[in-house]
Copies of this chain bind each other. A is one copy, B any other.
Amino acid sequence: MSYPTLEKRFERMYLLRDALTVLEWDASTLMPDGGAQARADQMAVLRVMRHELVTTPDLGELLAKADGESLDEWQRANLAEMRREWVRATVVPVELVEARSQAVSECEMRWRTARKENDFAGLQPSFEEVLKLTREVGEAQATALGSTPYEALLDEWEPGARTQEIDRVFGGLEAFLPELVARVLEHQAQTPMPPQPEGPFPAAKQLELGRNVMALLGFDFHHGRIDTSAHPFCAGVPEDIRITTRWDEDDFTSGLFGVIHETGHALYERGLPVRFRKQPVGQARGSSTHESQSLLWEMQAARTPELLARIAEQARIAFGGTGPAWETEAMLARMLHVERSLIRVEADEVTYPLHVILRYRLERAMIAGELAVKDLPGAFADGMERLVGVRPANVGEGCLQDIHWPAGLWGYFPTYTLGALTAAQFFAAAIEAVPTIPASLARGETAPLLGWLVTHVHSQGARSTASEIIENATGKKLDPEIFRRHLERRYLG
C-alpha cells in the first residue's frame, strides 16, 4: 500500500506548516525588531524542508500507485489533494519560483513608497516584472491543471475555480448592485445618523470586551488566544488558534468587529475534521470558504438586531456606556452605514463587491496581456467611476491602494466577494433549516448556528470544492439573488 506512506509524508509536511504558523504568529505579535532576520532564516529553512518533502522524487510514483488502491471516499479526496499539492510544487521550475519571489520582495518594498508618493511611473518596471513572472507561473501551472493561466493563479486560493463560474456570479451582481446602491443611499438619507459613543476606549478594556464577545460566539480559550498586532489575522493550529487585532481608542467597533471577523476564521479551523488533521483533505477548503466563515459572523450574524443586542450589551458593560448612542438600534444604524468610497478595505458590504469586480476584471486582463501596466491607473479610475461612482484623484487612493498585486497575490481578490455571497447563502440556509436561530442569537446562544456550520462546512474540510460545499449545504449553487435579497431586506426593509 502506497497510501499510508503518503499519509506519513504529508503528516510531516503539515507539522512543518504548523510550526511555521507559530513562528509567523510570534513574528507579528511579540518578536523584538532585532530578531527579524534570524526569524526569516528559521522560517526559510522550514519552508525549504517542506518543499523538499513535497518534491521527493518518488512522490509521483507513490501517488500513481495509490490511485489503484482500495480507499474510502475521504482517503480518495485526500489523495486528490495530495496530487494537487505535488503538481503545484513540482510544475513550476525552481528558478522561476525564486525569480518571482525576489521580484515580489522588491516590488512590495517599492510599492510602500510609490503608494505614499503617488508615483506609479517609479513602480511600473517592478510591477511589470512581477506581472511577467506571475504570468509565467500561471502558464506553467495551466497545462498541468487543465485551465487558463489566470485560473491556475486563482486555483492557489480557490481550488478548482473557473472564470466562467465567477463571471456568472459577478455578472449577476453587476446587473443589480449599482442601481441598488443608489436606492440604499436615497433610503439612508431619510434618517439621520445616530450619535457615536464618546471615547477614549482603553485598549485593555477593548481586549476584555473582545474576549467576552469571542466566548459568546463559541471561541474556546482552552484552545486559543487573542493578542494585538499591526494587522488583524488568524493563525495557529486547530488545537491552538491565535487571533489578533488592533485597537482604535476613539472607536471600539472597528477593533471589536475585527475580533468577530477573526473569530469566524478561528471557529472554522477549530471545526475541521480531526481524523485528517494533518492531511491535505483535513484543511480549510480555500480563501472564499474561509472568508465566508469570518463574514458569516462579522457581516451576517453580528449585524442582526438579535445578536447585536447581546454584543451592544457587552459593550455597555465594558465601558459603562449609557444613553442613546449606546442603544442597539443606534449601533446597528452606524454599523450598516453605506457610502460610495474609494478605499476597498473601508467599504461597506453593499459597495464592496463593486471594488472587487473591478479588480477581478483588471487583473484578468493584465494576465491575459489585454491590459498594459502603464494603462492600469486610467482603467482603474474609469472603472471606479463607472462601478462605485467615485473617481480616485491619484494612484495612492486608486490602483496602488492594495498590496495584493505588488505582493504577488493575483487571483485573490475574487475570493472576498465569493466569500461574502457564500456567507449570506449559508446564513439564510441555516435559518431555513433551524428557524429558531434568530431567537437563539437574541438570547446570546450561538450553538445552534455554529452547529449548523460545523456540520455543513467546517467538518467537510477540503473534501470537495467550495462550489460543491455550497451546493451540498444549501441545496443550490452560489446565487447572487440571495445576496440581493439579503441587502434589500437589511438596507431597504
Contact = CB atoms under 8 A, between A and B. Distances in A.
Contacts of A39: 22, 240
Interface residues of A, number: 35
Q: Is the interface of A mostly helix, strand, loop or mixed?
A: helix
A35 interface: yes
Contacts of A46: 16, 19
Nearest to A17: B42
Contacts of A18: 38, 41-42
A33 interface: yes
Interface stretch (A74-82, A145-153, A221-229): A221-229
A323 interface: no
Interface stretch (A24-32, A281-289, A383-391): A24-32
Contact of A32 (B12, B23, B41, B222): B222
Contacts of A38: 18, 237-240
A95 to B, nearest CB: 20
Interface in A96-144: none
Interface string A217-256: 0001111110000000000111110000000000000000
A43 B15 CA distance: 9
A45 interface: yes
A70 interface: no
Given A22-B23, A22-B26, A16 B34 contact: no
A365 interface: no
A203 to B, nearest CB: 15
A37 interface: yes
Contacts of A42: 15, 18-19, 22
B45 A15 contact: yes
Given A38-B239, A240-B38, A223 B22 contact: no
A49 interface: yes
Given A45-B16, A46-B19, A37 B239 contact: yes
Contacts of A45: 12, 15-16, 19
Contacts of A239: 34-35, 37-38
Contacts of A236: 35
Contacts of A26: 22, 26
Contacts of A37: 239
Contacts of A31: 240
Given A22-B39, A34-B223, A41-B278, 9 more contacts: A12-B49, A18-B41, A19-B46, A26-B26, A32-B223, A34-B222, A34-B224, A37-B239, A38-B238
Contacts of A16: 45-46
A33 B224 CA distance: 9
A221 B43 CA distance: 22
A193 B341 CA distance: 72
A92 B488 CA distance: 72
A342 B121 CA distance: 75
A238 B42 CA distance: 13
Contacts of A220: 34
Best-surrounded residue of A12, A22, A26, A278 (most CB of chain B within 10 A)? A22
Interface string A419-441: 00000000000000000000000
